[in-house]
Amino acid sequence: MGEIGSEFWNVPASGNGSGLFPLHTQWFLSGRSALRSIVRELSDCHTVAMPSWCCDSMVEPFLEAGFQVRFYPVYWDGGLIQEPYTDCDVLYLMDYFGHTGQQCVPHACSSVVVQDLTHSLFSTPCVDADYCFGSLRKWCGVWTGGYAWTRDGRVLTTGEAEDGVYIALRRDAMERKAAYICGGSGGKDYLELFAQAEDRLERTGIAPAAQRDILLAQTLDVAGIQTRRRTNAETLRSAFAEWLLFPEMEETDCPMFVPVLVPDGRRDKLRSGLIRHEIYCPVHWPVSSCHRLDARERVLYENELSLVCDQRYTVENMQRMVNVIHSLWKEE
């Protein structure tokens, strides 16, 4: 396999139930669609505290609903530090990259708590929230895969009709990528289809998931995903121990990526070099127009690189990535 990273094309399933989702889970087109449904329920709330390190897709549903957004500090100081505000109507919490234990509901918090489980779904997060939601698309090749549930089992609005155009774009893109990965014809024409799907997703509100994805979510090979990701992550963690954003990985953690802080301001150059070798490691995240960051908070945005470690790849693939990074690092 020459390419490492970028969009998924398959879903690892088993004959057993995944056990990840409560019975009253509602399913949505995307994590953002799920969050919009939650925000719709918060009509009596007007302010939300969100982590300063986040994607604009997390912020937009609150802004669209007229919320005042306050960003609480998230920064690096020998470890990832979060300092949530508890004086807002809503408190938005998340663990990062599958490393749990970072964030539980603060003592004596009276806010409505929304917990983003996107990064920690396959780990053992501290779940003590009024609303939980996330996106399965970040872990495997589902077409849709947004999910949400409430603490008290209330049913959320999922919308009435699937977005058939979006689903078809995702399906076709994955089929073409699978053919490319397996040595078929067509080149990388799947990239345009993925881009069209993302553009359509930007303009979609609350909509339900594809039934196919709901069924697949119930039979995910959770143990296989966890084992392969942990094994792959250990190879990368050993090779880049001095760069790790999380110096420790707990036994119950399942890494989404292996996040590192690339030193000497060389993150973007290193990432460009990896792309030349068909290794696609994302950064989390571009700075949105609504952020006002201090120097501590900018460190994460400007230096973090997410090394791919998912279940599509073997230790040999990880060692190839290690070798390429070491080679690129020596070029200067």
* DSSP one-letter string for 39-53: HHH-TT--EEEEESS
Lowest mean pLDDT among 52-61, 156-165, 219-228, 270-279: 156-165
DSSP tag of 120: T
Half-sphere exposure of 223 (CA within 13 A, CB side): 4
Question: Tell me: the pLDDT tens digits for 70-106?
Answer: 999 999 999 999 999 999 999 999 999 999 876 677 7
- E strands within 172-237? none
pLDDT for position 114 = 96
| Mean pLDDT in residue range 166-189 | 89
End-to-end CA separation in angstroms for the chain: 28
- d(C-alpha 277, C-alpha 216), whole Å: 32
| Mean pLDDT in residue range 149-162 | 91
pTM, two decimal places:
0.95
Question: Tell me: the pLDDT tens digits for 114-135?
Answer: 999 999 999 987 778 999 999 9
Question: Tell me: the pLDDT tens digits for 192-242?
Answer: 999 999 999 998 999 999 999 999 999 999 999 999 999 999 999 999 999
- Any idea what the Cα angle at residue 198 is, between residues 154 and 195, rounded to 5°? 160
Smallest CA-to-CA distance from 204 within 154, 167, 155 is with: 167
- Parallel, antiparallel, or unpaired: how do β-strands 47-51 and 304-307 relate? unpaired
Read off the pLDDT band of 184 (50, 70, 90).
low
Residue of higher predicted confidence among 331 and 50: 50
- Give the H/E segment covering residue 106: none
Mean pLDDT of all residues belonging to the chain: 94
Residue of higher predicted confidence among 190 and 100: 190
